[in-house]
């Protein structure tokens, strides 16, 4: 089960804030009054030393343990929430749909403000910054499942997309690809003969991976991108469930722009490495 860390952080920040606020409004005053009353009594009691008075006063003013933790964690959690919600968020790629550009186990740095500032959890945009461009790599929530996906932006609102015979066309123009090498492609049920190409799209040159023996039509070859939607395709073209399967992505479901690989960890008991670190090419 996927964990919504933004929701968890919001709950933790709200919980710590409420505990701190309730203590300040309803409980702290009682502690202060008790300490003041004790100080008044102690001033007339010669049996109590100054150290005893100080210790008892500190005890009476001491916050409950829950309040201490809430006050300590609130600013830290709030900072993390603001950072993840409005600036940058790490994301680990669980599938191979973006191979060879992004490998399984890569940790991606996602720019959360590139496409506008959005409220955490609900995702409502509160400030426009820029719109997605063709060729960029975007993290989003697809229309069929409530979890993060990562693909390349291929079509903008109003574009006509065609994918036929493993060739990609945008508004009638073919996206050029050059042969790089013959490779073996892991499909999860065994390796198949594949082809590694280099594609150039909107000034972005990136690798694509094809499996010639796989039927790429998927029952449909062309789409028109609706207003306020984006057409997303994985670089692992014949081994990617994307907009060719579940349709365009609403701008309301945009999470952010993927800008770099900052860490990699293979599945299982393996140490993380930095050998895959790289920034993604951006449109000119």
Q: Are 228 and 218 in contact (CB under 8 A)?
A: no
Contacts of 155 (CB under 8 A, 6+ apart): 134, 161, 170, 223, 225, 230, 231, 243, 248
How far is residue 57's CA from residue 19's CA, in Å, rounded to a whole number? Answer: 23
Q: Which residues are catalytic?
A: 97, 151
The gap between the terminal CA atoms of the chain, to the nearest Å, is 39
User: What burial class does residue 179 get, using C-beta atoms within 10 Å of its C-beta: 0-12 exposed, 13-18 middle, 19+ buried?
Assistant: exposed
For 218, the enclosing helix (H) or strand (E) is none
How far is residue 133's CA from residue 142's CA, in Å, rounded to a whole number? Answer: 18
How far is residue 5's CA from residue 132's CA, in Å, rounded to a whole number? Answer: 24
Q: Which residues pair with 232 in a beta bridge?
A: 153
Burial 148-169 (b: 16+ CB within 10 A, else e): bbbbbbbbbbebebebeebebe
* Preceding omega of 253 cis (within 30 degrees of 0): no
Q: Are 250 and 167 in contact (CB under 8 A)?
A: no
């Amino acid at each position: 089960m996927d964990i919504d860390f933004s929701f968890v952080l919001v709950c933790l920040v709200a919980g710590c804030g409420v505990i701190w606020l309730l203590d300040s409004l309803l409980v702290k005053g009682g502690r202060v009054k008790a300490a003041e009353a004790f100080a008044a009594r102690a001033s007339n009691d010669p049996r109590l030393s100054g150290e005893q008075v100080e210790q008892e006063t500190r005890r009476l003013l001491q916050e409950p343990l829950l309040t201490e933790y809430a006050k300590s964690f609130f600013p830290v959690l709030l900072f993390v929430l603001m950072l993840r919600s409005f600036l940058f968020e790490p994301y680990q790629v669980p599938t191979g749909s973006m191979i060879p550009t992004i490998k399984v186990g890569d940790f991606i740095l996602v720019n959360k403000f590139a496409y506008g500032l959005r409220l955490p959890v609900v995702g409502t945009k509160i400030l426009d910054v820029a719109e997605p461009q063709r060729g960029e790599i975007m993290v989003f929530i697809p229309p069929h499942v409530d979890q993060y996906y990562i693909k390349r932006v291929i079509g903008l609102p109003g574009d006509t997309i065609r994918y036929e015979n493993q060739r990609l066309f945008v508004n009638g123009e073919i996206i050029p690809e050059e042969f790089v090498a013959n490779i073996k492609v892991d499909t999860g049920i065994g390796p198949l003969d594949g082809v590694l190409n280099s594609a150039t799209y909107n000034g972005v040159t990136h690798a694509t991976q094809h499996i010639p023996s796989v039927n790429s039509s998927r029952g449909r070859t062309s789409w028109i991108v609706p207003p306020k939607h984006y057409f997303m395709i994985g670089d692992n073209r014949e081994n990617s469930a994307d907009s060719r399967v579940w349709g365009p992505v609403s701008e309301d479901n945009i999470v952010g722009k993927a800008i770099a690989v900052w860490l990699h960890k293979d599945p299982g008991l393996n140490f993380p490495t930095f050998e895959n670190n790289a920034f993604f090419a951006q449109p000119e």
